[in-house]
C-alpha cells in the first residue's frame, strides 16, 4: 500500500459482518450485507466488470476481485481485512499443507446480476458464503421473512499476467481531481487509437496527446493547477497506450473523487481511483 492510500486509512470504510455457523465442511468466509452495503458492493464490482469472469482471492489480509483483458490490462478491487466489522480467515488444508489464500474464478456478470436483484429492497440482508476449494459461492437473501437462495458455480482459478508497476523505479506519480481527468477522457478524439502520456519535471509537466484523423490534440496540465494535489517527477517519461485499453477504467473514474497516475521506467501505467460512496471509501486500481 503506497503513501497515498495510507492518507485515507480511516475507519470510514465498507462494513461487512462475518458470521461463522456450523457446516459440514469448513466455511472459509461467511459475509452478511445490509441493503446499503449491497448497493455499494454492486457499484464497486461494476467498476471492474469489463470481462465476464473474475478471479477472487480470499486471504488473511482481505478479499480481492481481479479482472483481466488480453493480458494487457487488469482491474482490481481490494477489500482489506481492516475494512470489515469482523473478519476471520480459515485456511484450507491442514498443518504444513495449509494454503495462505483461497482462490477461484467466478462469473462476475452472474454475481452482479444477483446483487442487483437482491439489492432492490430497502430492508434486506444478504449472506455470502464459500466453503473452500470446489464449493460454489452461495447467496442467501432474507427480506420480510422470505428467504431466497442462489448458488454460483466456482471454477479453477487462472494465472493473471504479471503486470507489476513495482518491478522497476517509479519516477512519476501525480494525484489529481478525478473530474478534470474525466472531462479530458470524455473529450478525446474517438478517431485516435493511441493516447500519449508525457510527464516531466518541467513544463508542460503533464501532457496528454491523441493522434486522430483530423489532426493531433494536446492537453496540458501544469503542476500548479488546482486540480493537482501532488506532483512528483524525477525524470521525463513519454509512453503511448492503446486508447481502448483505458476505456474500462472510465467506470471507476466516474465514481472516484481522486486518481493517482503512476508510470514506471518501462512504461507500466497504474491508475488508482479513490471511490467515496457516502461515508465509505475504497480504492480501485487499473
List pLDDT tens digits, range 1-36. Answer: 454 544 444 433 333 333 333 333 566 777 777 777
Task: State the chain's mean pLDDT as an integer.
Answer: 81
Q: CA 132 to CA 154: how far, in whole Å? A: 10
Which run of H or E residues covers position 53?
A: strand 53-59
H-only helix segments in 229-286: 243-246, 250-255
Q: What's the mean pLDDT in 62-84?
A: 82
Given a cut of 90, whether residue 169 has pLDDT beyond it is: no
pLDDT of residue 109: 94
Q: What's the mean pLDDT in 74-99?
A: 68
H-only helix segments in the chain: 3-6, 35-46, 108-118, 178-186, 243-246, 250-255
Given a cut of 80, whether residue 100 has pLDDT beyond it is: no
pLDDT of residue 9: 44
Q: CA 18 to CA 22: how far, in whole Å? A: 14
Cα angle 103, 107, 108 (rounded to 5 degrees) comes to 95
For residues 59 and 256, the model is more confident at 256
Yes or no: say if 242 and 249 are a contact pair by the CB < 8 Å rule.
no
Residue 36 has φ and ψ, to the nearest 5°, of -70, -45
% pLDDT > 70, the chain = 81
Q: What is the pLDDT of residues 213-269, one digit of tens each?
A: 878 899 999 999 999 999 999 999 999 999 988 888 999 999 999 999 999 999 999
Q: What is the pLDDT of residues 104-150, one digit of tens each?
A: 999 999 999 888 776 566 777 777 788 888 899 998 888 777 888 88
Amino acid at each position: 500500500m503506497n503513501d497515498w492510500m495510507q492518507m485515507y486509512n480511516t475507519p470510514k470504510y465498507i462494513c461487512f459482518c462475518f458470521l461463522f455457523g456450523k457446516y459440514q465442511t469448513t466455511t472459509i468466509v461467511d459475509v452478511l450485507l445490509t441493503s446499503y452495503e449491497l448497493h455499494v458492493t454492486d457499484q464497486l464490482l461494476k467498476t471492474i466488470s469489463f470481462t465476464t469472469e473474475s478471479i477472487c482471492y480470499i486471504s488473511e489480509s482481505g478479499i480481492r476481485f481481479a479482472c483481466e483483458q488480453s493480458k494487457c490490462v487488469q482491474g482490481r478491487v481490494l477489500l482489506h481485512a481492516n475494512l470489515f466489522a469482523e473478519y476471520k480467515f480459515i485456511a484450507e488444508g491442514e498443518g504444513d499443507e495449509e494454503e495462505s489464500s483461497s482462490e477461484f474464478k467466478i462469473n462476475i456478470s452472474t454475481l452482479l446480476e444477483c446483487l442487483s436483484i437482491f439489492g432492490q429492497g430497502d430492508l434486506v440482508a444478504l449472506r455470502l458464503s464459500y466453503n473452500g476449494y470446489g464449493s460454489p459461492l452461495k447467496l442467501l437473501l432474507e427480506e420480510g421473512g422470505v428467504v431466497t437462495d442462489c448458488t454460483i458455480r466456482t471454477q479453477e482459478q487462472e494465472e493473471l499476467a504479471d503486470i507489476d508497476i513495482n518491478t522497476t523505479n517509479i519516477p512519476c506519480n501525480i494525484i489529481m481531481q478525478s473530474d478534470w481527468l474525466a472531462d479530458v477522457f470524455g473529450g478525446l478524439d474517438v478517431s485516435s487509437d493511441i493516447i500519449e502520456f508525457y510527464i516531466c519535471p518541467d513544463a508542460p509537466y503533464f501532457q496528454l496527446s491523441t493522434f486522430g484523423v483530423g489532426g493531433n490534440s494536446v492537453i496540458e496540465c501544469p503542476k500548479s493547477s488546482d486540480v493537482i494535489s501532488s506532483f512528483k517527477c524525477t525524470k521525463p517519461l513519454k509512453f503511448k497506450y492503446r486508447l481502448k485499453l483505458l476505456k474500462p477504467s472510465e467506470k471507476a473514474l466516474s465514481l472516484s473523487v481522486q486518481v493517482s497516475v503512476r508510470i514506471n521506467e518501462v512504461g507500466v501505467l497504474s491508475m488508482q481511483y479513490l471511490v467515496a460512496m457516502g461515508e465509505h471509501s475504497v480504492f480501485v486500481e487499473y
